[in-house]
Structure formats: structure tokens, C-alpha cells
Amino acid sequence: MMPACGTFTHPPPPSRQGRGSLLAQLEDESWDMIVIGGGATGLGTAVEAAGRGYRTLLLEQGDFAQGTSSRSTKLIHGGVRYLQQGNLSLVLEALHERGLLIRNAPHLVHNQSFVVPLYDWWEGPFYGIGLKLYDVLAGKLGLGPSRLLSREETLRLIPTVEPHGLRGGVIYHDGQFDDSRLAISLALTIGDLGGVALNYLPVTGIIREDGLVTGVLAHDRESGREFFIRGRVVINAAGPFIDGVRRMADPEAKELITPSQGVHLVLEGSFLLGDSAIMVPHTDDGRVLFAVPWHGRTIVGTTDTQIPEATLEPRPLPEEIDFLLSHADRYLTRHPQRSDVLSVFAGIRPLVRNDAGGDTASLSRDHTLLVESSGLVTIAGGKWTTYRRMGEDTVNAAAQVAGLEERPSVTASLKIHGWQEGGDPADPLLVYGSDAAQLECLFMENPAWSELLHPALPYRFGQVIWGVRCEGARTVEDVLARRTRALLLDARAAVAAAPLVAGLMAGELGRDQAWQESQVAAFTELAVGYLPE
């Protein structure tokens, strides 16, 4: 039925079964763990649960990683800023997880060198010693030693950095990745392990019996069908929306989350020549600023702006764009203007509240695990780098709540779907890992499928087909924003490619012309928010 996905045992693993067959299992199966939320935390938790052999179901209201988990700075890192704050335990944990992830998903995570440009005499010893501590904390999982650079070495590594007053630099190493592609690979891993992950199936209610949570109500956004699903434990991993889920179980639940918005600009790759990234350790608002090469572009970020409430599609504020442009202007010889911005994207950090107040930049990025009196297990906070550890802690607690047999975690050495060593990070197909060979075969099925969707984008027609057949893509946005990264790389080019994508998807999904037109219109409206005003 899906020849492009290769030859499978019968039946095929859930990661490659059609949506209809997966929906049919929802009410017929006895689930050990139901995970709400298909971002980094929910996916990591579901992989952890399925890896231990628990019968696992993950439900996502939109698409996998549709929220913050596809809008990160694209770094798997220990957190230099947390080192400055003295949070050594978080840095140590994150560096350990960074090392595990670069082993378990080498097709998605790679070593990235960073240079801190130094303009004051005291910065060399200060940051040099700090980054040596970073190396020590990484231990055997380190990616390379940090060292001081001369002015000439600094300019050779980051030739577009502002040379006026430059004294030298410090180089260190961290991890870089493609966030939504890791999310898709985790969703596929859940299926490979025997679990089920479904997008566009929001949880609309929590089932309680005798005061305890025993399942969920869910709504299929495509068919309109309602599902009554039982589970031995329900895990709330809904990111910025966890408080809404908590109130389904307890209308009196107090707010746990303080949402903070982070914004990134995407510029042409020529703004940052060379292979190294730039890290500015202190900006006007106290945050670290990065300029990072990614998929042939330059990402500049991030801001930290407290917002009143979380939305699924946050919009960058004009002052956030101004902040990033002004800081890029200080540190780059090419001074970017609004007209140079190919895309601008915003994500919401689900930061755990504290009673002391203060700005969100000072709030902890540690994760918080909460077991409600109803038995609902909530996991909050954290970041992409520590998603696996968050999942491990959550499943440990959930198994106790459910009275499940204790089983050891296997994810520290679990290879993520598509695992494959080697390859060039500049290759657009590297993110598919071992699936890339089958994708190449799909290109040969139809000569047109090898053509580019747009001359400014590195993506081909066949990747749209693959996204629908093998990766659960249901909308044009799914393909252009997350199965490929077209919307982030060039929002205008993505809009131009939308009609082609809609036509290809319609052929796979059996949709009509009206569906295509509505999809293109919806995507075009969405993409407007990715362009600076």
C-alpha cells in the first residue's frame, strides 16, 4: 500500500500504518500510558514509555512539534547562560544528555563550533575560564576543547564579525540539530517500539471515576469523530498548555506556567561566513545571543518577552525584531535590515512560575514533575536538550501511579529512528538518516518528484509525497513548516511553493480542489506572520 516506505513485516509497524488503522485501535486497546502533547516533552515521554514495553498512546492537538518544539534556537547545548547563573546541576545534566543524543541521533545532531568575540581586555580570562569549566563538566561526552583565539584566528573563523575593537575570541563546542525533524523521528520511533502517536487529535476532556483519572476524551479534527479512551495513567506533557489540561481534571488548579516568548530572525547565509557560530554572552536584556549557521541560512536569536497567555501561533513583536536587528548590527559587518529577513519565528517557553516574581530570563529551565491528587501526572518546564531525562523521570512516576510493573529505562542507548552515522550536515537529505535511501528510490518512481519545489529552497516534490505517506503530514503547513523547513528558511518562497505542495498532497490524500484552495489560503495567511512588518 505504501511502496515508498520499503518492505515491512506484516502488519507494518505503527510508525508506517495509515491514520485510519491507528484510529481504529484507540478504543479497542488497553493503554498503560496516555501522553497528552506531541512536542519535545511528550514525544520523549512516549518513547521512554514504549521503550520499556508499556502500551503507549500519544495524542497531539495539532501537528507534532507545531508549537515551541519546532521554533528553538536549533541547539542541543549545556547552556552557557546557566553556567553564568551558577546552575551547575542543570548544565551537568544537559551536557550529559547532549552527549547521549549526539550518539543516538547522529543524523540529526552534530558538533558545532562557537566563537565568543572579545572586545574588552578582561573578557578573555573571564570567559576562557568559564568555558574550561564547561569542558570539565562535559567529561568524556565532550565535543572538543575550548581555547583562547588571537584576533587573527577569530577573524578567520568568523570573518563577518565586527573587527573594530576586536581583541580576540574564545572557541568552544556545542550541539546543533533540526528540531522538528527530531520530533518527527521520535514520533516514528514510538511506532517502531509498538506505541501509537497521532496528530490532530486534541484531548477535549479528562475522564474521572471516584475522583481518579482513568482516561481521556479526544476529538479527531479530520472526521469529527469522538473517542472515549481509557488508560491506567494519563500524562500531561502539553508544554505551554499544561494548565488547560490540568483544569480539565481539576477546575480549581492553580496556574503552574509563566509563558515567555522567544523570537529568532533568519537571514541569508552570507551574513555569517565560515562554519562557526557566534555567541554573545551578554545582551541588553541579559540573555545570550546567538548567530548560528543552519541549513545554509543564518539564525539570529533569541529574545525573552513575558506574555499574558500561550497561543498555538505566537507572533513576533516589532520591538523583538528591532532588538535582534540592533544586536546583529553591533556584531556583524553586514548590517541586516528588515528587508533582509527571510523569516522570523516565535516560540513560547513553558517556564515554571516562582513566587518571587522577576523577569522570565531569571526563571529556571529545570523541569518540574507534579502528581496531582487525581493521579494526573504533569511534566513542565525543561528544554529540548533534556527531553530524554524528562521522559525518564516522568515515566518512573507514572508507572508508580498506575501500579505498573517496574521496568528499566533503555533510552540512554536507544537509537532514534533513522539512526545513521556520517554524512554532510549541509545535505538536505541527511535529516532522514537511513530513510534517505528509500526516499531516493521514491524520487525514481516519478521523474517529476526529483524537481525542486522552488529555486530558493533545497526541497523536492518527492519529499512532499514522503511526508504524507511515511511521516503523518496532513496539511500544507505540516510539509512546509515541519517535514521540510521551507517556512523558516524563506517564508516568501514557501508561499510560492504552497500550490504545488497542495496539489501533491491532494493526490495522496484523495482531496479535492476546494481542499487545495483552502489549504493554500490558510498557509498564506500563516506565513504573513513569519515576515517582519
Give 10-residue mean pLDDT values along the chain (533 residues). Answer: 37 62 85 98 98 98 96 91 79 94 97 95 86 92 95 97 95 96 98 96 97 96 95 96 95 89 95 94 80 96 85 90 94 94 93 58 67 95 94 97 97 98 88 96 94 98 97 98 98 98 97 98 97 86
C-alpha cell at 143: 565535543
Exposed e or buried b per residue across 119-145, where buried means at least 16 C-beta atoms within 10 angstroms of its C-beta: eeeebbeebbebbbebbebbeeebbee
Run of H or E residues at 9: none
Q: What is the pTM of this model?
A: 0.94
List domains and CATH numbers for the chain. Answer: 30-68+181-256+363-413 (3.50.50.60), 109-175+258-356 (3.30.9.10), 430-528 (1.10.8)
Exposed e or buried b per residue across 502-532, where buried means at least 16 C-beta atoms within 10 angstroms of its C-beta: bbbbbeeeeeeeebbeebbeebeebbebbeb
Q: What is the pLDDT of residues 37-66, one digit of tens each?
A: 999 999 999 999 999 999 999 999 999 999
Return the half-sphere exposure (C-beta side, CA atoms, 13 A cut-off) of residue 216.
Answer: 30
Distance CA 175, CA 461 (A): 30
